[in-house]
């Protein structure tokens, strides 16, 4: 098995794949379909459809499937490690050794990164609304999800909006069947027995972790990140409100540190879910590298278990109109949940002056109008904050 080759290729992608999940798909297609021929165009499109329809980090799930196809479960694990490690390690180093500096310039950089989060989340909301809410029904559902998430607040509002969207979608958002599911499973894909085992493990963890974690802080920490990873539909940005509830709500991580990390994760390559490593390193329950590792495994595990566990039954499931309706309803509600998170905590915590508003508008123009890469916004906005402070603005 070409294990070293798998690790080498995905490690290089983890070091160079800037731009977020959509850009990652382009990097993967160029690397594995065009350049190396590891998978065919049809297989790539088929696996991408699966990852986009299920909760979890789509680009990481797709990489996991490519690694599975190339080298079995060991290859899949190496693919995930290679793609995830660079950004996670960078965030942990900054969390452990950067936040302890009390220099005034560092506080200004932090403020700039908070404004980056304002712009990036707004961009994500707009993009998801355009792609997931294409008719009146789904648009109304996104507004209802926004109201539930903002009105009820916390985990109850977020989960309530997602559950309500799925239930309503089952009856009023039924879709036609998909043509992308032609049985193109990976060469080392799981049998139905293995798929059942993985899905059963996912269900057991979701149901029993809260009960076992009642009096064990480390398990509570694992459960918070695990549950956030299991409920993320629609891309990495959607994990923001779930992680905010799990970490900022109980007082484990400050709102300022939370938004700083979310700004920083835009500046590093690799998956957005590595934001969990930042939070885990700062969580006093198990701070440092141990906490970062625990949080990282916990948030990725449900999506990876699900995408591999569903593979044996995907072709049958994706031809059920009601199942596709549930997914459409959930996706529409998720747009509303993310919009609510953009208001609180992102906007309320980051913008406190007219200067901040102006800088955020400049960032929005760069990203939304001029369509500059995200990393340019990450560089420019903190610089503008530093300059505005030096001129007394």
pLDDT along the chain (393 residues), means of 10: 90 80 76 89 77 82 94 95 95 80 67 82 81 88 92 79 88 62 67 92 93 88 92 69 86 88 82 94 93 96 94 74 79 84 81 92 88 81 91 80
- How many Å apart are CA 77 and CA 392, to the nearest integer? 51
Q: Note whether residue 185 is domain-resident.
A: no
Q: Note whether residue 189 is domain-resident.
A: no
pLDDT score, position 322: 79
Q: Note whether residue 63 is domain-resident.
A: yes
pLDDT score, position 237: 66
- How many Å apart are CA 44 and CA 26, to the nearest integer? 11
pLDDT score, position 20: 67
pLDDT score, position 180: 45
Q: Give the domain range for residue 334.
A: 3-180+194-390
Q: Note whether residue 187 is domain-resident.
A: no
Q: Note whether residue 257 is domain-resident.
A: yes
Neighbour-count burial of 201, counting CB atoms closer than 10 A to its CB (0-12 exposed, 13-18 middle, 19+ buried): middle
Q: How many domains does the chain have?
A: 1
- How many Å apart are CA 33 and CA 151, to the nearest integer? 46
Q: Can you give the pTM of this predicted structure?
A: 0.73
pLDDT score, position 233: 65
Q: What is the largest CA-CA distance in the chain?
A: 66
Q: Which residues contact 373 (CB under 8 A, 6 or more apart)?
A: 18, 19
Crossing angle for the helix pair 217-230 and 192-212, nearest 10 degrees? 130
Q: Note whether residue 345 is domain-resident.
A: yes
Tokens 């139905």, located at residue: 192
Q: Note whether residue 186 is domain-resident.
A: no
> Is there a contact between 330 and 173 (Cβ–Cβ < 8 Å)?
no
| Phi-psi map region of 219: left, alpha, beta (phi>0 left; psi -120 to 50 alpha) | alpha
Radius of gyration (C-alpha) of the chain in whole angstroms: 20
Q: Note whether residue 79 is domain-resident.
A: yes
């Amino acid at each position: 098995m070409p294990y070293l080759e798998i690790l080498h290729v995905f490690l290089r992608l983890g070091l160079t794949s800037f731009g977020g999940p959509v850009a990652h798909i382009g990097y993967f297609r160029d690397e594995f379909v065009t350049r190396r021929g590891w998978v065919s165009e049809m297989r790539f499109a088929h696996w991408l459809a699966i990852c986009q329809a299920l909760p979890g980090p789509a680009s990481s799930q797709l990489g996991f499937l490519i690694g599975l196809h190339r080298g079995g479960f060991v290859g899949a694990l190496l693919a995930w490690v290679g793609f995830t490690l660079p950004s996670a390690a960078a965030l942990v180093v900054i969390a452990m050794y950067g936040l302890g500096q009390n220099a005034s310039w560092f506080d200004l950089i932090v403020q700039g990164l908070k404004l980056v989060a304002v712009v990036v989340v707004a961009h994500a909301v707009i993009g998801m609304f355009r792609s997931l809410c294409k008719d009146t029904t789904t648009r109304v559902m996104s507004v209802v999800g926004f109201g539930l998430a903002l009105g009820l607040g916390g985990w109850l509002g977020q989960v309530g909006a997602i559950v309500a969207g799925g239930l309503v979608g089952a009856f009023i958002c039924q879709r036609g069947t998909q043509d992308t599911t032609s049985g193109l499973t990976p060469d080392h894909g799981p049998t139905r027995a293995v798929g059942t085992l993985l899905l059963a493990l996912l269900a057991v963890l979701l149901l029993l972790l809260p009960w076992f974690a009642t009096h064990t802080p480390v398990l509570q920490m694992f459960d918070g990140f695990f549950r956030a990873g299991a409920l993320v539909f629609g891309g990495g940005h959607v994990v923001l409100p779930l992680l905010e509830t799990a970490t900022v709500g109980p007082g484990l991580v400050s709102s300022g540190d939370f938004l700083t990390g979310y700004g920083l994760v835009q500046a590093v390559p690799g998956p957005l879910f590595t934001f969990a490593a930042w939070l885990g390193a700062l969580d006093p329950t198990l701070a440092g590298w141990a906490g970062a590792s625990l949080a990282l495994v916990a948030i990725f595990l449900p999506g990876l278990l699900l995408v591999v566990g569903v593979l044996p039954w995907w072709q049958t499931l994706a031809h059920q109109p009601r199942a596709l309706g549930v997914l459409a309803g959930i996706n529409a509600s998720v747009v509303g949940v993310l919009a609510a998170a953009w208001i609180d905590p992102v906007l309320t915590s980051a913008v406190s002056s007219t200067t901040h508003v102006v800088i955020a508008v400049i960032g929005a123009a760069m990203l939304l109008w001029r369509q500059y890469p995200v990393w340019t916004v990450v560089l420019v906005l903190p610089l503008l904050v530093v300059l505005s402070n030096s001129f007394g603005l």
